[in-house]
Amino acid sequence: MRGENKDQNQMKNDLMKLPRPTISEMTWVWLPLQQKEMSGKRALFLQHVAQTSGMPLGIEVSHASGMYIYDTRGKKYLDFDSGISVSSLGHCHPIVVKAVQRQAETYMHTMVYGEHIQSPQVDYAALLASTLPHGLDSVYFVNSGSEAVEAALKLARKVTGRTEIFSCARAYHGSTIGAESLRSDYDFSRHYFPTVPGVRHIVFNDISQLERITEKTACLILEPVQAEAGIIPATQTYLQAVAARCKETGTLLILDEIQTGFGRTGSLFAFQRYGICPDILLIAKAMGGGMPVGALVASHALMQQFAHNPALGHITTFGGHPVCIAAALATLHILLNETYIQEVETKSQMIVDRLQHPLIQSVRSAGLMIGVELTDAGLVNNVVNEAIAQGVLIDYFLFDDRSFRIAPPLILGEEHIIEGTDKLLHALETVYKNR
């Protein structure tokens, strides 16, 4: 009941009685919460901070630095998840922290969405555009990946005057109602019906389905590597056929690089290795170096649609907040000037090569997005729990319950690869012996 102050022991007992979560609940982890004494913060967290699963992981964060997150009991966790592909430069990169501090002292919110001229936004947009093909020269800053998706769908409808939208089966594009409408998993989305009308699904990597895209289609949105489906890269021929079909039918191609962007797959953006160019590119997650920000990038002509007839086509109070963009600018400078992106493939290969265990069925990778499929889906939960207990953070996938996810910061060194994979192998062995 609201306002009720539950006794800590009672709460702990209640927690112990709860059933172990199933993988389909996309749980966080059960064990750590069970094992720890309930601190005051923990009890207040459970009571007052909204959660999205019955069993939150509940690591009480003390601080984070580089490759590690530390809890309030002094336990150190090697981050092999990056908060799902966010902390690509690790935690609290000193240059990013400095940029945030400097900007916070200079000005914070004044007015965004292209009204005031704010130097972090201008410098960022110009720098980003200089790394992208000619048609991607205008940046609309938003707060998150989902908001970038929403704005892109709006833009596609306005530009084409069409309503039909295609997305791929087992894609994930965000949690707001428009983004959620793109999900093919009706068992999930039916709880939120009615979703946006006009959405249809095609099977990813199946060229024969592309003929369903016609002159009635406003846009096709897809990820170059399907992340939540368990790391499924698009084939070269598929993405080229996608781009050709979109061109032929006047359909806008929206590439969601929210998870694949900023070097994670071994190039600044994954599409750059496919010989295609989207009409709209969506970015977020690692963009802000740990600060919340996203953007859609398109041609100046396309983006002008938000400014005219009617004006204010998409507006957002905080999108492109100068402190976040200062962090994003520092992050982009680091990624462009250091060799982290060039090292992605070698580091990925080292991790993949070291992951040899009878419980492992296969390992799929796209740079430092790695999906490890087990021989027994029923053991994924145990392996994730055991790995976290060993002090290495890994994660689940939304739509692949046979695999666990590895997505470490790009800054990881050989010593972290050895530490992380040793701990993972130990976790696998423990689960193997106790199965």
What are residue 135's DSSP bridge partners? none
- Minimum distance between the CB of residue 422 and ligand PMP, rounded to whole angstroms? 28
Per-residue binder mask for ligand PMP (CB under 6 A), 65-104, x = binder: -------------------x--------------------
Minimum CB–partner distance for residue 403 and ligand PMP (Å) = 16
Taking CB under 6 A as the criterion, the residue among 30, 113, 124, 172 binding ligand PMP is 172
CB of 333 to ligand PMP, least distance (A): 22
Q: Choose one: 167-175, 261-269, 320-328, 420-428; the region binding ligand PMP (CB under 6 A).
A: 167-175
Stretch that binds ligand PMP, among 43-51, 161-169, 253-261, 346-354 (CB under 6 A): 253-261
In whole angstroms, how close is the CB of 366 to ligand PMP at the nearest point?
12
- Which of 12, 173, 201, 423 touches ligand PMP by CB under 6 A? 173
Q: Among 137, 150, 256, 343, which residue sits at the site for ligand PMP (rule: CB under 6 A)?
A: 256
- Assess contact for 369 and 224: CB atoms under 8 A: no
Query: How many CA atoms within 13 Å lie on the side-chain side of 331?
Result: 33
Any contact of residue 146 with ligand PMP (CB under 6 A)?
yes
Comparing CB distances to ligand PMP, the nearer of 82 and 382 is 82
Q: SS3 letters for the chain?
A: CCCCCCCHHHHHHHHHHCCCCCHHHCCCCCHHHHHCCCCHHHHHHHHHCCCCCCCCCCCCEEEEEECEEEECCCCEEEECCHHHHCCCCCECCHHHHHHHHHHHHHCCCCCCCCCCCCHHHHHHHHHHHHHCCCCCCEEEEECCHHHHHHHHHHHHHHHHCCCEEEEECCCCCCCCHHHHCCCCCHHHHHHHCCCCCCEEEECCCCHHHHHHCCCCEEEEEECCEECCCCCEECCHHHHHHHHHHHHHHCCEEEEECCCCCCCCCCCCCHHHHCCCCCCEEEECHHHHCCCCCEEEEECHHHHHHHCCCCCCCCCCCCCCCHHHHHHHHHHHHHHHHCCHHHHHHHHHHHHHHHCCCCCEEEEEEECCEEEEEECCHHHHHHHHHHHHHHCEECECCCCCCCEEEECCCCCCCHHHHHHHHHHHHHHHHHHHHHC
Q: Which is nearer to ligand PMP, 295 or 425 (CB)?
A: 295
Between CA 75 and CA 81, with CA 77 as vertex, the angle to 5 degrees is: 160
Amino acid at 267: S
Q: Which of 100, 222, 280, 284 binds ligand PMP (CB under 6 A)?
A: 284
Q: From the CB of 222, what's the least distance to ligand PMP, in Å?
A: 10
- Report the residue number, 33 or 291, with the smaller CB distance to ligand PMP: 291
Q: How far is the CB of 109 from ligand PMP (least distance, A)?
A: 20
User: For residues 157 and 405, which CB has a smaller minimum distance to ligand PMP in the complex?
Assistant: 405
Query: Which residues between 105 and 144 bind ligand PMP (CB under 6 A)?
Result: 144
Task: State in angstroms the smallest separation of the CB of 128 from ligand PMP.
Answer: 18
Give the nearest distance from C-beta 354 to ligand PMP in angstroms. 26
Tokens 């069993």 label which residue? 55
> Which residue, 174 or 371, is less far from ligand PMP as judged by CB?
174
Q: Which residue of this chain has its Cβ atom nearest to ligand PMP in the complex?
A: 145
Question: Does 227 interact with ligand PMP (rule: CB under 6 A)?
Answer: yes
336 binds ligand PMP (CB under 6 A): no
Total residues binding ligand PMP (CB under 6 A): 14
What is the identity of the amino acid at 174?
A: G
Our finding on whether 423 is near ligand PMP (CB under 6 A) is no
Residue 319 binds ligand PMP, judged by CB under 6 A: no
CB of 382 to ligand PMP, least distance (A): 24
Place of tokens 């069925």: 361
Q: Which is nearer to ligand PMP, 146 or 421 (CB)?
A: 146
Which range of residues in 168-176, 321-329, 361-369, 415-423 is near ligand PMP by CB under 6 A? Answer: 168-176
Residue from 251, 259, 265, 403 binding ligand PMP (CB under 6 A) = 259
Report, in angstroms and rounded to the nearest whole number, the Rg of the chain calculated over CA atoms. 22
Which residues contact ligand PMP (rule: CB under 6 A)? 84, 144-146, 149, 172-174, 223, 227, 256, 258-259, 284
